[in-house]
Amino acid sequence: MHHPHHHLPKRIILVRHGESQGNLDTAAYTTTPDNKIQLTSSGLAQARQAGNHLYNILSNDENKNWRVYFYVSPYDRTRSTLREIGRSFKKERIIGVREECRVREQDFGNFQVKERMKVIKESRERFGRFFYRFPEGESAADLVCTEDCFLQNAKSTNIVGFLESLWRDIDMKRVHRDPSHDLNLIIVSHGLTCRVFLMKWFKWTVEQFEHLNNPGNCEFRIMQLGAGGEYSLAIHHTDEEMLEWGLSPEMIDDQKWRMRANKGDWNEKCPWYLDEFFDHVADSDRESDDKENGSSGMCD
């Protein structure tokens, strides 16, 4: 029996690249462009292990007709991570792979002077990680949506644009041609990019983003399709895991609501917009009138 939302991917899985030379020693950035930084031998092993783990998760599905479609950042370390992950999958399981510039790493500037970067990153902690823009580089906010006047129609170039084209690919069945297959989209990217993707998808605030921790090398976040057509992190991941990632109890409750929510529903118990701005506002016109008349609003 098909899922009522069988045209949607069963999972969208965000994977951070394996350990890189830059993770091991930031001096690597002083001589090597960021996009050319290589994986360490440990990073290659992490990626092979991640591939095994992902394969085991997917092959445990009730529907044995599962398939995968990969998106990968164009950086050497993400491409190498995908190559190692790919060893776990037979070609018949892979629908396709696309290199996707919009899930690349944040631009920290060109060759990076070690001592200067140390000072810059300390400034970022004081300024705030979301809006801080690296000299000659980008901020996390730029990754969400960069308007580039040189691009036709000034289309958004980063995460927002990627999400739009991702949904277009899904709607037009470019990545999912056979409804009997369970499709899994796997995005091999970078820590910050994964956090920004989740922020935009789940409509988290900047303040909530600031509390998120970076995924470890080759860690993944699995967004799984719930019964009503919404995606949730809570189907595959535990409360403890999500707390470790920096999600608040309210954000975790929202993920649990999404497990059963109908697509397009609004979570009225999701407090971080209404309560943030309108917690001082009366619940109803009558309550406001009662306050103006000096009444408590309770029956006499």
CB atoms within 10 A of CB 211: 14
Residue 236 a catalytic site member: no
Is 23 annotated in a binding site? The answer is: yes
How far apart, in whole angstroms, are the C-alpha atoms of residue 242 and residue 264?
23
- Catalytic residue (one of 2, 6, 7, 17): 17
Tokens of 122: 């300390």
Tokens of 211: 């509390």
Residue 105 a catalytic site member: yes
Is 93 annotated in a binding site? The answer is: no
Is 292 annotated in a binding site? The answer is: no
Is 19 annotated in a binding site? The answer is: yes
Start-end of H helices in the chain: 21-24, 28-31, 41-59, 76-86, 114-127, 140-144, 159-171, 191-202, 206-210, 239-245, 249-258, 274-278, 285-292
CB 70 within 8 A of CB 97: yes
Q: Are strands 11-16 and 220-225 parallel, antiparallel or unpaired?
A: antiparallel
Is 22 annotated in a binding site? The answer is: yes
Tokens of 258: 């999404």
CB 76 within 8 A of CB 182: no
- Catalytic residue (one of 2, 5, 99, 105): 105
Is 18 annotated in a binding site? The answer is: yes
Is 38 annotated in a binding site? The answer is: no
Is 129 annotated in a binding site? The answer is: no
Is 112 annotated in a binding site? The answer is: no
Residue numbers belonging to the annotated binding site for substrate: 16-23, 77
Q: So which residues are the catalytic ones?
A: 17, 105
Residue numbers belonging to the annotated binding site: 16-23, 77
